[in-house]
């Protein structure tokens, strides 16, 4: 199973540029997780809603042009899965009206999978938004643990909006304590690992440096590789041996984020 997560920063823009089509043609993912889709299904083209190759599911924000996530499953796989559910909330998590969660739960080859596309809050708008971000983190980890305890295989992909360690950000000293690299956010990442989850890319690439997934649009940051690694896949550490490949697709344009591909 080839799964790709990508914050597209506007799915209609990624389609208009032809970059979403390029990704699908080049990588042909079995499951595609998208964040910041920024729209409602009735605003999207047939390519984005009735694609001949994918079953497509959307979780949209009530606010027009804001946030939103999506999850696409290749039809050849979808026909073989059972007990499919598409869910758009995490129990008790805030920001329920912002379309931040696309969650597919299904049975495949006698195993129950939970695959999440999540766009975590930034938290920088206000003190209330910061508190809601930390609360969102907590409820997400609790739900991951709960599903794992039920014997499910849980795969969480998306824009986590936090760089975990100094190696995950080009300018750690300049950003120390700022939102996105705040001790409370980084501590949550520590606790995710302590709870038995793996940052899948770092798990397989413990010594890699200067690998990022987001760059500001200002000052040629991407060309200079002055970025942050804030897009991840989480998988249970005991299941990490199922990963045959994981890589950031740095050549993929169309967004201020690059996609992350995992093959399980």
- E strands, 150-252, in order: 153-159, 197-199, 231-236, 245-248
Helix (H) / strand (E) element for 4: namely strand 2-7
Which residues have CB under 8 Å from 101's CB, separation 6+? 59, 69, 87, 88, 89, 90, 93, 116, 117, 118
Half-sphere exposure of 129 (CA within 13 A, CB side): 9
The residue among 29, 34, 33 whose CA lies nearest residue 2 is 29
What are the distances in angstroms from CA 57 to CA 70, 180, 234, 247, 251? 6, 28, 21, 25, 26
| 159 annotated active-site | yes
Query: Are 158 and 119 spatial neighbours (Cβ–Cβ below 8 Å)?
Result: yes
Of 30, 159, 168, 199, catalytic: 159
**Residue 218 burial (10 A CB sphere; 0-12, 13-18, 19+):** exposed
User: Which are the catalytic amino acids?
Assistant: 159
């Amino acid at each position: 199973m080839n799964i790709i997560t990508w914050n597209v920063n506007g799915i209609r823009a990624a389609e208009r540029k032809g970059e979403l089509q390029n990704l699908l043609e080049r990588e042909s993912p079995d499951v595609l997780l998208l964040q910041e889709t920024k729209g409602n299904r009735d605003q999207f083209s047939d390519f984005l809603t009735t694609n001949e190759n994918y079953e497509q599911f959307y979780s949209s924000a009530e606010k027009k042009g804001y946030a939103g996530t999506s999850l696409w499953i290749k039809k050849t796989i979808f026909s073989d899965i059972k007990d499919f559910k598409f869910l758009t909330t995490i129990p008790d998590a805030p920001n329920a009206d912002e379309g931040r969660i696309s969650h597919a739960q299904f049975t495949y080859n006698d195993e129950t999978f939970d695959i999440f596309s999540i766009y975590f809050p930034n938290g920088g708008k206000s003190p209330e938004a910061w508190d809601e971000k930390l609360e969102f983190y907590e409820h997400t980890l609790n739900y991951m643990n709960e599903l794992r305890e039920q014997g499910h295989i849980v795969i969480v992909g998306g824009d986590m909006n936090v760089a975990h360690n100094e190696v995950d950000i080009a300018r750690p000293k300049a950003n120390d304590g700022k939102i996105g690299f705040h001790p409370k956010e980084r501590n949550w990442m520590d606790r995710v690992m302590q709870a038995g989850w793996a940052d899948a890319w770092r798990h397989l690439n413990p010594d890699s440096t200067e690998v990022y997934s987001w760059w500001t649009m200002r000052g040629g940051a991407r060309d200079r590789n002055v970025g942050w690694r804030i897009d991840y896949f989480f998988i249970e550490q005991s299941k990490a041996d199922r990963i045959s490949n994981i890589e950031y697709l740095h050549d993929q344009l169309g967004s201020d984020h690059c996609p992350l591909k995992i093959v399980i």
